[in-house]
Structure 1
Amino acid sequence: MKQLLVFVLFAALFCWLMFSPIYKHVLVIRQALLQQEADYMLEIGASGRYGYVDGGMVQESRIRLSQYGFNEAYLEYDINSTSGAESNNPAAPLPRGTGLRLRISYPYENLLDIDRLIGLNSPSANARISGGGMKMSEYVPD
Structure 2
Amino acid sequence: MKQLLVFVLFSSLFCWLMFSPIYKHVLVIRQALLQQEADYMLEIGASGRFGYIDGAMVAESRERLARHGFDPSRLEYEVTSANGEEATVASSPLRRGTGIRLRIAYPYENLLRIDRLIGLEPPSEDARIAGGGMKMSEYVPLSD
Query: Normalising by structure 1, what TM-score?
Result: 1.00
CA distance in 1, matches of 2:5, 2:82: 58
Q: CA deviation at 1:91?
A: 0.3
Q: Matched residues in 1 for 2:20 and 2:83: separation?
A: 44
Tell me by how many angstroms 1:120 deviates.
0.4
Match of 1:77 in 2: 77
Which residue number in structure 2 is paired with residue 126 of structure 1?
126
Which residue of the partner structure matches residue 50 of structure 2?
Answer: 50
Cα-Cα RMSD: 0.3
Query: Take 1:126 and 1:26, find their aligned partners in 2: how far apart are those partners?
Result: 19
Match of 2:2 in 1: 2
- Please list every run of 5 or more consecutive structure 1 residues that lacks an aligned counterpart in the other structure: none
Q: Which amino acid aligns with 2:126?
A: N
CA distance in structure 1 between the partners assigned to 2:125 and 2:108 by the alignment: 8
Look up the match of 1:18. 18
Q: Give % identity.
A: 75
- Tell me which residue corresponds to 2:62: 62
Structure 2: runs of 5 or more not aligned: none
Compute the displacement of 1:90 (Å): 0.5
1:116 and 1:73 map into 2 onto residues whose CA distance is 28
1:121 to partner: Cα distance? 0.7
Matched length: 142
Distance in 2 separating the partners of 1:91 and 1:78? 19
3-state DSSP of counterpart to 2:132: strand
Deviation >2 Å, runs of 4+: none
Counterpart in the other structure of 1:136: 136
